[in-house]
Amino acid sequence: MSSNQPYSDKELFLRIAEGDETAFATLFNLYSTPLALIALRMLHSEPAKQEVVQEVFIKLWLNRDRLKEVQHPGAWLRKITIHECLQYLRKTSLYNSKLEGLEPGGTSFNHALQAISVKEIQQAVKQALQVMPSQRRTIYELSRGKGMATKEIAAQLGLSDGYVRNAISAALQTIRSFLPDSVQLPAIIFLLFF
């Protein structure tokens, strides 16, 4: 616990378990960089690192009711990050093996993309946006539709930067849940179609 941090990690976890978004933002600010370094060392990829760290914090928030049981939050977060890195590597390996298994003469990445219905992806994104709370949808549209940075969105909407990042993460999680099972590409690809 640093001198400018009023709560210990355990206290932050307890507050997050009760739904305290400010405590979540504080924890994110404390741990996103160290966890990103772990992910980068394991994955050797900036986009992969970002996806894993995002997934760690999404899962933390979605499973916040279980945080009261965690005795050592820092070690637990590192363990979850390593687990997510391994999951990412497994998923990537499976994806690459599926690409390699495509019929000869059509083994390029472009061929795999052609097999996916762009309309299906766009429809999934539209459906997900319809069920999102209006503020989350607005934040997502400013981020992805207008290409605004989180700090710009936060300033425009009068929100904290951490809140905006969390809202974008939650929006991406919602969109992922609407994607058909047949879409096995990394999340970053389907966002290009929006």
Q: What is the pLDDT of residues 121-179, one digit of tens each?
A: 677 778 888 899 999 999 988 887 777 888 889 999 999 988 998 998 888 888 878 77
Between 95 and 106, name the one with better pLDDT: 95
What is the model's pLDDT at position 87? 86
Are 129 and 191 in contact by the 8 Å Cβ rule? The answer is: no
194 burial (CB, 10 Å; 0-12 / 13-18 / 19+) is: middle
Between 150 and 96, name the one with better pLDDT: 150
pLDDT (tens digit, 9 = 90+) per residue, 29-50?
999 999 999 999 988 888 889 9
Tokens of 76: 């637990």
What whole-number distance in Å separates Cα of residue 173 and Cα of residue 92?
18
Q: How confident is the model at residue 192 (pLDDT cuts 50, 70, 90)?
A: very low
What is the model's pLDDT at position 101? 59
Given a cut of 70, is residue 120 above it in pLDDT? Answer: no
**Predicted model pTM:** 0.50
Question: How much is the average pLDDT of 6-17?
Answer: 89
Tokens of 124: 């999934």
DSSP 181: T
What whole-number distance in Å separates Cα of residue 169 and Cα of residue 74?
21
H helix and E strand count, the chain:
10, 0
Range name among 25-29, 41-45, 108-112, 176-180 with the lowest pLDDT average:
108-112
Given a cut of 50, is residue 184 above it in pLDDT? Answer: no
Percent of the chain clearing pLDDT 70 (strictly above): 75
What is the model's pLDDT at position 1? 44
Question: How much is the average pLDDT of 83-111?
Answer: 66
Tokens of 147: 């290409």
127 burial (CB, 10 Å; 0-12 / 13-18 / 19+) is: middle
What is the model's pLDDT at position 52? 93
Tokens of 77: 């977060």
Taking each helix axis from N to C end, the angle separating 9-17 and 21-43, rounded to the nearest 10 degrees, works out to 120
